[in-house]
Structure 1
Amino acid sequence: MSLTSKPGAGRTYFVADLHLTDERPAATGRFFRFLQDEVAGADALYILGDLFEAWIGDDHGEAVANDTAQRLAALVAAGTPVYFMHGNRDFMLAGRYAARSGMTLLADPTQIDLYGMPTLLMHGDTLCIDDTAYQDFRRRVRHPLTRALLRRLPRMLRQRMARQARAGSEAAKAHKAAEIMDVNEAEVVRVMREHRTGRLIHGHTHRPAQHAHQVDGRECERWVVPDWYARWGYVVCDAAGCALRVGDL
């Protein structure tokens, strides 16, 4: 597989919430075209969580997992580094798959120097502190001991547990007010103040937008990366700033 075009040179791309699965080939095809047509030759690609709809472990059996690893590895081999931050759907992704795909794993949050601007990267779920039930669940399931125990379970059992978790999550969302599933504005300001950053890029909420925040008298910016369900998109940054791109699948 060859990735030789250079349309993205001098740019860095950010995606999140692709939720790739064999059941949604349109999103997978759109992602692969995005890698080939836009990201090839870029300074970097950052995947800010939920690359996959569900991830039961690095023995994940869907064809999309293998195909995505090949595409990402080709991108990295051609000179564009790929960085991955765990989301709430693929927090079980570990070093074995990252090595296959050439991805570098990042902690959540991670701060980078993006063309001279200190920029904080997050998946975004920890900003949704009003959803206390989710935050409690997240703390339990993301505990290192819990993840170690889950990885030891038979794959079929993990698959069944993942299906049940997805169904439970969708049922829970139906009974939650929309605003508690979005970020808490005070928490955004607190985090940006703590990290002394003027820019935050995250996903998770599926509400793509550019936001302005006042942090200790400073004008700061927050970029929300789009999901890849009915639409697709990304945030792209260069030395002049960032832009949000959204289109239909």
Structure 2
Amino acid sequence: MTARTLALFISDLHLQASHPRTAEAFFRFLAERAAHAERLYLLGDIFEYWAGDDDLDDPFNRSVATALRRVSDGGTAVYWLGGNRDFLVGTGFADAAGLTLLPEPHVATIAGRQVVLVHGDAQCTDDVKYMAFRAQVRDPAWQSQFLAMPLAQRKAIIAGLREGSRAAHGEKSYEIMDVTPAAVAALHADTDTDVIIHGHTHRPALHEAGGQRRYVLPDWELDADPIRGGWIAIDEDGRILRCDLDGRTI
């Protein structure tokens, strides 16, 4: 008999109306997988970008909130931890989607096991320029000033930032854009946990060292080759499973 799934973890779907196959795969995952789990954890960059909760009037954004609400109303507890693209998700979206916003890092106890959850960008400490930018946009005063701007102006600013980010990525090494061993060690120590689950880097893997494990979630892309995606599950026996888009264990 297959052990029941207690928790599912996904990140880095970068949902947008121009990527309909990825969105459809997400909606299918919610209906076929998340609806049958006790908990669903969304660990950042679910959206390609989020300009503010007043963008819920956008039909695509509303469809995502509605799909999540359906899962939540069905009895699955849904949790959201913002990424570098959608950290501006607030209580308006949370109420519409029926989910709980989490601080970062967040320690979850699942099947008697403690797991620390982060998006992963805060651990990329060798990327000094990004870390300075992250500190700026995570500042509550900056966010208040930004969200006070008209929605169209915010979207224009975000479009410029995304273009600059793409250019900057072409100039950086993979090592600089990955998490650092020191940041990972600090996260383990600060939270007193031996298991980390995160996304952000788009490098799905299981890293093991000294009795500690770090699971990296995949990004999702079904509108271009190569197709990729998947999730992590924890079952009632406490097993942590890495799954592909068809639910097969990797």
**What is the TM-score with the length of structure 1 in the denominator?**
0.92
Letter in 2 for 1:123: H
What is the CA–CA distance in structure 1 between the aligned matches of 2:97 and 2:245, rounded to whole Å? Answer: 26
Partner-residue secondary structure (3-state), 1:64? helix
Residue segments in structure 2 that go unaligned for 5+ positions in a row: 222-226
Residue segments in structure 1 that go unaligned for 5+ positions in a row: 1-6
In the alignment, structure 1 residue 244 sits paired with structure 2 residue 242: yes
Q: 1:4 maps to which residue?
A: none
What is the CA–CA distance in structure 1 between the aligned matches of 2:214 and 2:58, rounded to whole Å? Answer: 34
What is the CA–CA distance in structure 2 between the aligned matches of 1:247 and 1:68, rounded to whole Å? Answer: 19
Evaluate the alpha carbon distance shift between residue 8 and residue 43 of structure 1 in structure 2; reply closer, same or farther with a 3 A threshold.
farther
Identity %: 38
Deviation per CA, 1:62-119, whole angstroms, max 9, x where unpaired?
4221001111111011100100001000011110111000010000100011111111
What is the CA–CA distance in structure 1 between the aligned matches of 2:89 and 2:161, rounded to whole Å? Answer: 17
* Post-superposition offset of 1:246: 2.4
Deviation per CA, 1:145-198, whole angstroms, max 9, x where unpaired?
001111100111011011111101000000001111011012101210121101
Which of 204, 223, 226 in structure 1 is aligned with 2:215? 223
What is the CA–CA distance in structure 2 between the aligned matches of 1:192 and 1:213, rounded to whole Å? Answer: 12
* Post-superposition offset of 1:244: 0.9
What is the CA–CA distance in structure 1 between the aligned matches of 2:196 and 2:140, rounded to whole Å? Answer: 27
Structural mapping, 1:28-47, within 5 Å = 28-47=23-42
CA contact (8 A) 1:210 1:222 kept: yes
Q: Which has the higher strand share?
A: 1
CA contact (8 A) 2:231 2:245 kept: no
In the alignment, structure 1 residue 206 sits paired with structure 2 residue 202: yes
After TM superposition, where is structure 1 displaced by more than 6 Å over at least 4 residues in a row? none
CA contact (8 A) 2:112 2:238 kept: no
Letter in 2 for 1:50: D
* Post-superposition offset of 1:8: 9.1
Which of 88, 91, 100 in structure 2 is aligned with 1:92? 88
How large is the Cα RMSD of the aligned pairs? Answer: 1.4
Structural mapping, 1:1-249, within 5 Å = 9-60=4-55, 61-214=57-210, 219-229=211-221, 230-238=227-235, 239-247=237-245
Evaluate the alpha carbon distance shift between residue 183 and residue 135 of structure 1 in structure 2; reply closer, same or farther with a 3 A threshold.
same
Partner-residue secondary structure (3-state), 1:231? coil
CA contact (8 A) 1:83 1:104 kept: yes
What is the CA–CA distance in structure 2 between the aligned matches of 1:99 and 1:16, rounded to whole Å? Answer: 20
Letter in 2 for 1:129: T
Deviation per CA, 1:25-71, whole angstroms, max 9, x where unpaired?
11100000001111112110000011100100001254221001111
Deviation per CA, 1:104-140, whole angstroms, max 9, x where unpaired?
0000100011111111000000110000100000001
Partner-residue secondary structure (3-state), 2:244? strand
Count residues with an aligned counterpart.
238
